[in-house]
């Protein structure tokens, strides 16, 4: 809002409390009403300016953009898909100098939001369109499946493609493909299912026609991971092998929708597994089924059960049989734990601890593979 100082500026107007017109006549008997009206007007102007200023700072486009030089993003796939170039930062890798699973999940979330951003449909919140805002709706993820073929290393340049498609009558599917910009090698692929929730009642909602009209022109009939029959995840009980109780969300764990970010859920799940395991194994697949939200005041329990039938034959044993390697050489190659047998599949559950019963937050299923070399 632009205005010059003086009578044309709403903030500069001062109501004459001794001359307030009531039903066409002047009155001096409403000083409190005049004060309230003045305060309301000033607050309303300030609110409008704050909203306008925030959108201006964010530079949210109101029309479809084909390229964004600041985010290194492009609209592809005939004008409906999105591709973003990213570089793996030093703070996004773990002790083995490869990107963590949390990094990959954060990149998936960021590129999804940037896709909506460039479409010109973004209102506010986590990817809510203008029609969703008018209907007081937000997106919530109900299921996610990520497959990692190889983890990118520090400094590696990636191209992340993402696109959307229909999922049933009231849902939306979003897929991703992460590749090396240099070689085109696929690092990871992911698919997810999203539904709408009323922001106030926190209940799931049908997709309004105006929202369907907004997003359906962007739908692509292609899947990064084909799931003819999605794997169902069993519910664990209190007899699970690994249990981590009394987990408390921090303020930094909350997202723009005021609930715990789904990346935090994954961290809680993986930290339940004994630390010796991820030193020699890396995650190759994770499936998540989201059941309900988790708030800042909730106390969470993370439980995990290994699939004892998933203990593999160790491919490295043949190497050791063929070569008489000294223990220090084995240790240097990360093979000292070769004879330790670990299951490669795990079932997970996060639940909110209640006084009488526990409420499920998310079920998970992880699959792991042996690291070629231990770089810890």
Catalytic residue annotation:
257, 259, 294
Contact 310, 347 (CB under 8 A): no
Distance (Å, whole) CA 150 – CA 148: 6
DSSP 354: -
Tokens representing residue 189 in the block: 């692929």
Specify the DSSP element, H or E, that contains 244.
Answer: strand 242-247
Q: CA nearest 236: which of 361, 127, 339, 355?
A: 361
- SS3 of 343, please? coil
How far are the Cα atoms of 35, 71, 235, 298, 353 from residue 359, in angstroms, in the given order? 49, 39, 12, 11, 7
H helices, E strands: number in the chain: 8, 15
Place of tokens 């696109």: 163
Tokens representing residue 323 in the block: 């070569």
Question: CA geometry: angle at 31 spanning 30 and 34, to 5°?
Answer: 85
3-class secondary structure per residue, 265-303: HHHHHHCCCCCHHHHHEEEEEEEEEECCCCCCCCCEEEE
Place of tokens 């290194």: 72
- Write 305-309 long-range contacts (CB < 8 A, 24+): 305/236, 305/240, 305/241, 305/242, 305/346, 305/347, 306/241, 306/242, 306/342, 306/343, 306/345, 306/346, 307/343, 307/344, 307/345, 307/346, 307/347, 308/343, 309/343
Determine phi and psi for 114, rounding to 5 degrees: -65, -30
Question: CA geometry: angle at 240 spanning 238 and 246, to 5°?
Answer: 60
Tokens representing residue 249 in the block: 């969300």
């Amino acid at each position: 809002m632009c205005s010059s100082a003086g009578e044309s500026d709403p903030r500069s107007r001062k109501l004459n409390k001794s001359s307030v017109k009531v039903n066409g006549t002047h009155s001096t008997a409403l000083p409190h009403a005049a004060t309230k009206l003045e305060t309301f007007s000033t607050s309303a102007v300030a609110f409008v300016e704050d909203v306008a200023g925030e959108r201006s700072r964010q530079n949210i486009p109101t029309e479809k953009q084909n390229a964004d030089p600041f985010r290194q993003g492009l609209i592809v796939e005939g004008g409906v898909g999105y591709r973003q170039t990213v570089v793996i930062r030093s703070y996004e890798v773990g002790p083995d100098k490869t990107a963590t699973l949390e990094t990959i999940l954060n990149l998936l979330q960021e590129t999804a939001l940037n896709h909506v951003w460039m479409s010109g449909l973004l209102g506010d919140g986590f990817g809510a369109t203008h029609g969703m805002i008018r209907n007081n709706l937000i997106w919530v993820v109900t299921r996610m499946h990520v497959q990692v073929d190889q983890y990118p290393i520090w400094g590696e340049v990636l191209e992340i493609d993402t696109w959307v498609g229909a999922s049933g009558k009231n849902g939306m599917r979003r897929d991703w493909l992460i590749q090396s910009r240099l070689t085109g090698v696929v690092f990871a692929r992911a698919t997810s299912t999203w539904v709408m929730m009323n922001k106030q009642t926190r209940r799931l909602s049908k997709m309004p026609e105006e929202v369907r009209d907004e997003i359906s022109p962007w739908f692509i009939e292609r899947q990064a991971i084909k799931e003819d029959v999605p794997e169902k995840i069993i519910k664990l009980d209190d007899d699970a092998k690994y249990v981590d109780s009394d987990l408390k969300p921090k303020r930094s764990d909350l997202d723009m929708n005021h609930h715990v970010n789904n990346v935090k859920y994954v961290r809680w799940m993986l930290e339940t597994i004994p630390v010796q395991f991820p030193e020699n194994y890396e995650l190759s697949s994770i499936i998540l089924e989201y059941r309900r939200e988790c708030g800042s005041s909730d106390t969470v329990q993370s439980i995990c059960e290994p699939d004892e039938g998933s203990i593999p034959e160790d491919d490295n044993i043949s190497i050791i049989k063929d070569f008489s390697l000294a223990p220090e050489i084995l240790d240097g190659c990360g093979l000292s734990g070769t004879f330790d047998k670990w299951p490669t599949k795990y079932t997970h559950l996060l639940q909110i601890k209640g006084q009488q019963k526990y409420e499920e937050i998310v079920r998970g299923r992880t699959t792991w593979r042996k690291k070629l070399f231990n770089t810890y």
